[in-house]
Structure 1
């Protein structure tokens, strides 16, 4: 009986599960959902990724670099160089290289980075000063065009082309204005209050200066005619974008990616100084404060000179002192023959010529005995004292 009821309960449970499955199948409605994971790592690292993809879609060859070290490998003919990053660390030599590359036929586009200082007659942007353009704040402009109020899009920059009835619109930052004090620009693009793009000829190439490049970054390139303007400025050329010329230094990279290793290195250096700075042995006793006698200093000095220079040096010094005193008392002494010099010395000192000759003639022996050396010194001192 229990087996029969168990079988019936199993069949009933299976039927209920099948019924539930059919019900859920008939009621369930499939749908699709998109989950936004944010920009890709490539887009986060490259703010101009959308601009590169757009230009490639137009058939242009596009590359990007982090510095100007690639400039010698770029053929200036039919090539556009876009300097879209910070350039405050550009050197005058690099600026000369860029200008020479442009003069040879390249197309250069860069962003004006600094305002013109009227007092200093320069800006902090060496490249902008080289092309002799000035960047000012639009709010400081005094003379505005008379038709500003009639402009339906005062905050958009208009680019007028030949054979076109309507201008192209670009979203430049209207807070800045480009000024051409020497009338070098061949073409330009303005908003209602200011100028935001200028083009100049330079040798076989051309230079395009803009007030900002944010309109070509990923969030803004699809707005207005921003993408078309970038294609128009680089049409029929290969394109190289440089947007990160400020490379992080090695200490900055180490501090960013290896802070624990740097802390360990500093601790190791401190421990090394502490280890080698520990005193190895007892302290040296301080010397007594009592001063030595003058005679002790003289004896010590004489012993030092004797050990360092030898007996001949001391005897020669005494002999030279005697000759110097004689020359002072007897002018022309050095011109006399040796025999007459001994006679002069004998007359001045009251010593015999034999004693004088024994004292003044250099000894051939390399080293004298102590008694003989003392006798020689005594003879010389007696002669010097007599003078």
Structure 2
């Protein structure tokens, strides 16, 4: 009976579980949840990955370059070089090489990196200075215009170059019909509406030589200039943020990249400065680098440790006056020469002799030795051994000790 009762209880529990599961399945509703894991490691490492994928999707041949040495093998015709890397380490020779490449028929696109300095007459950006294109802070344009009105005529003419017919170097003020004054606009022929781009409106480009044949303006500033250079074309922009992964999908930013690179292969140079070995090790192998540094420190500590047993410090009771005197004498002997010690003893003897015999210092050496012998009752040979001048050469320990003993006996006798 007990087994039958236990089986009934287990069966009842299983039935209840089945009924409860059936009820949960009847009220459950399936749903989808999107979990965002953020950008992929490749996208985090490459700010222009989306731009590369977009151009490849437009049947462009896209390649990356890590330095300007790519110009040695890169043909000019049918090529667009997107020079988006920092150029603070570019040399004048490299700048001339880049412009010569564009002059042979290539399309060069680069970002203006420095503001024009009126006092120096240059910006420091080698490419901008060679092309005489100037970048200003858009917030300072009104101040510059006010200064122009009060400046000499020649300066005003230098700032306001004649614009091409039907165009203007600087965009007009905000018009009443401008729906997006904060965006940069590019007007094309046979198009009623302009293309809109998300350039940073804090910068303004100025073509001092009036060479630009195309440009793009926001309501207050110019953000893109394009000019012919020999057989090629050069495009200057104020920033490249609109083509980074987060911004290329906004407005017509991707279309502008397609428009500027159409009918050509594309080479992107957006990370010209290579990391050094230490930076790469610190980035990818920090634990191994720390372990190596600790190992080096341990080896230096091991090599620098003293060999043999440690000498226990002497008890204070052993530090008698004689030990202090001996230690002081050893220190003086190491720090000074034998001649200096002998000369000090001889000078002390002469001071004592002057006190006992006034005018001692004015007597000849022979008479001084006679007086010393009479005052100390020492033999002339001992006086000669003690007071003879110290030589420049180092003497033996026995000779040095003997002369010091003669001097001490003579000084004690005075």
Tell me if the contact between 2:171 and 2:218 (Cα under 8 Å) persists in the aligned partners.
Answer: no
1:38 aligns to 2:68 (yes or no): no
Q: Tell me the equivalent position of 2:312.
A: none
**Residues 234 and 146 of structure 1: is their aligned pair in 2 closer, same or farther, counting only changes over 3 Å?**
closer
Tell me if the contact between 2:172 and 2:220 (Cα under 8 Å) persists in the aligned partners.
Answer: no
TM-score between both structures, scaled by the size of structure 1: 0.69
What's the CA shift string for 1:35-68, capped at 9, x where partnerless? 0011100111111111111111111111223322
Q: Tell me the equivalent position of 2:180.
A: 153
Distance 1:176 1:145 in 2: 13
**Residues 145 and 114 of structure 1: is their aligned pair in 2 closer, same or farther, counting only changes over 3 Å?**
closer
Q: 3-state DSSP class of the match of 2:23?
A: helix
**What are structure 2's unaligned runs of at least 5 residues?**
146-169, 307-329, 344-386, 396-414
Q: Tell me the equivalent position of 2:104.
A: 104
What's the CA shift string for 1:95-144, capped at 9, x where partnerless? 22212221121111000000011111111211221221000011111357
Structure 1 residues 181-200: aligned runs within 5 Å: 181-200=208-227
Q: Tell me the equivalent position of 2:64.
A: 64
Tell me if the contact between 2:172 and 2:219 (Cα under 8 Å) persists in the aligned partners.
Answer: no
**Residues 29 and 296 of structure 1: is their aligned pair in 2 closer, same or farther, counting only changes over 3 Å?**
closer
**Residues 111 and 272 of structure 1: is their aligned pair in 2 closer, same or farther, counting only changes over 3 Å?**
farther
More off after superposition, 4-13 vs 260-269 = 260-269
Q: 3-state DSSP class of the match of 2:38?
A: coil
Q: Tell me the equivalent position of 1:264.
A: 294
TM-score between both structures, scaled by the size of structure 2: 0.65
1:249 aligns to 2:276 (yes or no): yes
What's the CA shift string for 1:275-297, capped at 9, x where partnerless? 69xxxxxx995341236978967
Structure 1 residues 114-125: aligned runs within 5 Å: 114-125=114-125
Tell me if the contact between 1:186 and 1:200 (Cα under 8 Å) persists in the aligned partners.
Answer: yes
**Count of residue pairs brought into register by the alignment:** 295
Tell me if the contact between 1:52 and 1:62 (Cα under 8 Å) persists in the aligned partners.
Answer: yes
Tell me if the contact between 2:224 and 2:236 (Cα under 8 Å) persists in the aligned partners.
Answer: yes
Distance 1:149 1:269 in 2: 74
Distance 2:199 2:297 in 1: 52
Tell me if the contact between 2:78 and 2:106 (Cα under 8 Å) persists in the aligned partners.
Answer: yes
Distance 1:92 1:270 in 2: 46
**What are structure 1's unaligned runs of at least 5 residues?**
277-282, 301-387
Q: Tell me the equivalent position of 1:326.
A: none
Alpha-carbon distance, 1:242 to partner: 1.1
The two structures, once aligned, show a CA RMSD in angstroms of: 2.9
Structure 1 residues 276-355: aligned runs within 5 Å: 286=334, 287-288=337-338, 289=340, 290=342
**Residues 218 and 19 of structure 1: is their aligned pair in 2 closer, same or farther, counting only changes over 3 Å?**
same
Q: 3-state DSSP class of the match of 1:97?
A: helix
Alpha-carbon distance, 1:272 to partner: 7.8
Distance 2:171 2:234 in 1: 26
1:51 aligns to 2:78 (yes or no): no
1:180 aligns to 2:213 (yes or no): no
Distance 1:95 1:7 in 2: 91
Tell me if the contact between 1:112 and 1:212 (Cα under 8 Å) persists in the aligned partners.
Answer: yes
Distance 1:35 1:124 in 2: 47
Alpha-carbon distance, 1:227 to partner: 0.5
Alpha-carbon distance, 1:2 to partner: 1.6
Alpha-carbon distance, 1:222 to partner: 1.1
Q: Tell me the equivalent position of 1:345.
A: none
Tell me if the contact between 2:173 and 2:220 (Cα under 8 Å) persists in the aligned partners.
Answer: no
Tell me if the contact between 1:255 and 1:262 (Cα under 8 Å) persists in the aligned partners.
Answer: no
**Residues 297 and 51 of structure 1: is their aligned pair in 2 closer, same or farther, counting only changes over 3 Å?**
closer
**Residues 295 and 8 of structure 1: is their aligned pair in 2 closer, same or farther, counting only changes over 3 Å?**
closer
Distance 1:145 1:131 in 2: 21
Distance 2:172 2:271 in 1: 41
Alpha-carbon distance, 1:243 to partner: 1.1
Tell me if the contact between 1:87 and 1:246 (Cα under 8 Å) persists in the aligned partners.
Answer: no
**Residues 37 and 51 of structure 1: is their aligned pair in 2 closer, same or farther, counting only changes over 3 Å?**
same
Q: 3-state DSSP class of the match of 2:7?
A: helix
